[in-house]
A and B are shown apart, each in its own frame.
Chain A
């Protein structure tokens, strides 16, 4: 069965960077794109972008262009999302998702001085 296991919670200071991982199992990793979605406290779901696990092509939400980078490591079936120049409004739970049908458990990123 498809499983996505994400890295643990992070606390960062404003201006820092964070890198969240998402380890996939139960399917051929390179067969599907992986999307990243975030959810600020008490708010709805916000799509951040996707990466092709086959060729590394990416597409990012316009509001995050220049601050976000998504990568994959096919040798370990792991996807990564790095967000730079963190601000307080980046505090959120970050999710990875494959095919839109399977979700990771979420990673809480708290940005606070």
Chain B
């Protein structure tokens, strides 16, 4: 079963860019992941699916400021031109034939 590792926190200034990382465990570097955003007090919101090739497919209504990329076992979520509403928890998720697993989440603070 894959394991996903995320940094617990990140911060960046309003209007700048930030790159969040999700790392797949050994032997699972080819897995597709999904990124979800959870604003305070709200349900998670699907952002995108991201393949090991770096190809990604965003959900409906997700702003162009959100993009994905990959390198080896690492999957990245880049948010450009940070807005105050981007302050949220960000979770990566992956799955196999039987289970789904989430990373521990990264709390993003917009300064």
Q: Which residues of A contact B (CB under 8 A)?
A: 35, 37, 44-47, 50, 59, 61, 95, 97, 100-106
Q: Are A47 and B99 in contact (CB under 8 A)?
A: yes
The 7 closest A-B pairs by CB, nearest first: A45-B102, A47-B100, A101-B46, A44-B105, A103-B43, A106-B43, A44-B104
B101 adjacent to chain A (CB < 8 Å) = yes
Which label, helix, strand, loop or mixed, suits the secondary structure of the A interface? strand
Q: A44-B104, A45-B105, A100-B46 are in contact. Are A61 and B95 (CB under 8 A)?
A: no
Chain B 92-111, CB-CB to A under 8 Å as 1, else 0, gives 01010011111111000000
Q: Are A59 and B99 in contact (CB under 8 A)?
A: yes
Complex: A46 Cα to B100 Cα, angstroms? 9
